[in-house]
Chains A and B, each alone.
Chain A
Amino acid sequence: MAPRRRPPRRAHRRPAGSPALRRAADALLLLSVGLLAPLSGGAVTARSTVVLDLSSGSWAAVAVPAGAAPTTGPLALPWSQSGSSADAIVDVVATGTLALSGVRLRLDADGPDPVTAVTVTACLGGTWEGPDCAGTTAPVGDLTGTAVLEVALDPSERIALRAETRRPVANRTTFVLRVEVARTDVRGAPEGGD
């Protein structure tokens, strides 16, 4: 049996095949390169994710009648008249989630009596029983403008205050006590912070 002859080879022969077939082959090659390039050039990625929950705290305090539950808003002092003088027992309650180093008290008067006629005293570690403090008294002073009550308060903690005036107040003047808490009144406030 005679050996099978291979077709003669031609040097530098242009590849055979129809133009359409050549274009198809070229397109397939280009497509292949296009598929390969992005995968080998950086499409392989590794990713690791993790979630961290975060919440911010709050700082706040309110004034309420002694023993009352805290509510938002200013408090009109509940005067109790006794002869020529009157007093009002209130609590300041920390209602935020952060501990406080103090609060700022402001007393506004609506009427003929001046604020300077009202003296405020805190009862630390106890409550007021009339004019008597079961704990330690600490003068807050006359609330002209804003006074800082420098008493540490943990969240939900309350401190008892007694406001006193030597003048009759019934139907003459409404005293509204406001409580402000600034960032600097919160634990960990940086030095010089405002």
Chain B
Amino acid sequence: MDQEQQEPTARRWTRGRRAAVAVGTVAGLTVASVVLAGLTATTTSPVPQPVDGGELVLTLDDVGTGFSTAVTDLAPGDVVLRHVRLDSTGSLDGADLTLTVTSSGDAALVTDGASTRALTLAVNGCDVAWDAGTGTCAGTASTLLAATTVGLLTTPVALVDELLAGASLHLQLVLALPDQDETTVDGAPPAETVQGATVALTYGFTMVQRDPLTTTG
């Protein structure tokens, strides 16, 4: 077979190989995408190399009352402390833990008007479990979120940069209704009032996986 006859065959073979490589690359990368951690492994061993996808799991547990009981009859100046523990129970380290709070109900408790009237939320951390009975931290406490009007927390706010696999985050949530004067006359509250209002607050804690790693070995 002369060179002119060989060349088209070689081009067809190469063209087919490129297509196969491209398709194979797509398939390979897609499979890698499905693996939660984006982990990759390469082996030249004749023995199949197992590759396990990591898991990113965040669980929340009440400490003491936590979120298990509603808050009722809150008066201006009242402060409610609730304690929860977030656990990273997956195999992957978590990062960028954020909090959002959405609400439904009376806006008077959520959104400030001309004055500061609505509920505020602050979040404190402790490197050991909170004493839910006293609201104290026997270890080192830190402020993760300064008091913020609840209505402003619909967009995520950062709490911690990382939560390693197997680690726990001990949180104290400080709900407060700012002190304010309201005088009820003959049984009727003023036009703008925080009295007798109800709201359902949905707390969302979210974290993402830690940065992808390239491992060698």
Interface residues on A, range: 35 or more
Report B178-210 CB contacts with A as 1/0, cut-off 8 Å.
011111111111000011111111111111110
Interface residues on B, range: 35 or more
Instruction: State whether B37 touches A53 (Cβ < 8 A).
Output: no
User: Which residue of B has the minimal Cβ distance to A64?
Assistant: B187
Instruction: State whether B10 touches A52 (Cβ < 8 A).
Output: no
- A residues with a Cβ closer than 8 A to B are 7, 15-18, 21-22, 24-25, 28-29, 31-33, 35-36, 39-63, 70-75, 95-98, 178-184, 186-190, 193-194
Q: Which of B57, B177, B184 contacts A46 (CB 8 A)?
A: B57
Instruction: State whether A35 touches B184 (Cβ < 8 A).
Output: no
Which residues between 8 and 57 of chain B lie within 8 Å of chain A, taking CB atoms? Answer: 9-11, 13-15, 18-19, 21-23, 25-26, 29-30, 32-33, 36-38, 56-57
Which of B95, B96, B179 is the most central at the interface, judged by chain A CB atoms within 10 Å of its CB? B179
Q: Would you give the shortest CB distance from A24 to chain B, in whole angstroms?
A: 7
Q: Which of B22, B23, B25, B75 contacts A98 (CB 8 A)?
A: B75
- B residues with a Cβ closer than 8 A to A are 6, 9-11, 13-15, 18-19, 21-23, 25-26, 29-30, 32-33, 36-38, 56-60, 67, 70-78, 82, 84, 86, 88, 90, 92, 94-96, 109, 119, 175, 177, 179-189, 194-209, 211-212
Known interface pairs A56-B197, A57-B75, A97-B73. Does A46 touch B33 (Cβ–Cβ under 8 Å)?
no
Q: Which of A22, A25, A39, A50 contacts B60 (CB 8 A)?
A: A50
